[in-house]
Structure 1
Amino acid sequence: MNVSHEVELLVQEIQRLGSKNDLGQTIVKFGVLFSDDRCANIFEALVGTLRAAKKKKIVSYEGELLLQGVHDQVEIVLL
């Protein structure tokens, strides 16, 4: 799969699993994305796809590297 396609799929999954914040942006916690069965089947490297999307300014989140357990409560914002 190419990176652009994976980022598009990531956007769809964030919209499916997330909720709107006060600014109308869709947000989802990393732990929700990481533990979702559908996401696990789609993304071979979820963290890598998130980093690519952050680099393209499609999503925003605190920090550089997200790890399961430690960063489960980090909010990923769809820009």
Structure 2
Amino acid sequence: MNVQHEVTLLEEEIKRLGSSGPDGKTCVTFGELFEDEKCANLFEALVGTLRAAKRKKIVTYEGELLLQGVHDKVVITLL
């Protein structure tokens, strides 16, 4: 799969799982994305796809590398 396609799929999943934040942008926690069965089957490397989306300024979140358990409460915002 190409990166752009995976990033587009990630956008769709954030919209599906997320909710509107105080600024009107869609937000989801890393834990919600990571634990979702559909996302687990869809993304071979969720963290890599998130980093690519962050570089393209499609999403934003605190930090560089997200790890399951440690960063479950980190909020990912769709820009």
Distance 1:71 1:46 in 2: 13
Tell me the distance in 2 between the aligned counterparts of 1:16 and 1:26: 9
Report how many residues are paired.
79
What residue in structure 1 maps to residue 62 of structure 2? Answer: 62
Q: For residue 23 of structure 1, what is the aligned residue in structure 2?
A: 23
SS where residue 57 of structure 1 aligns?
coil
RMSD over aligned Cα atoms: 0.3
Give the TM-score, by structure 2 length. 0.99
Structure 1: gaps (5+ residues): none
Q: What letter is aligned with 1:53? A: A
TM-score, normalised via structure 1 length: 0.99
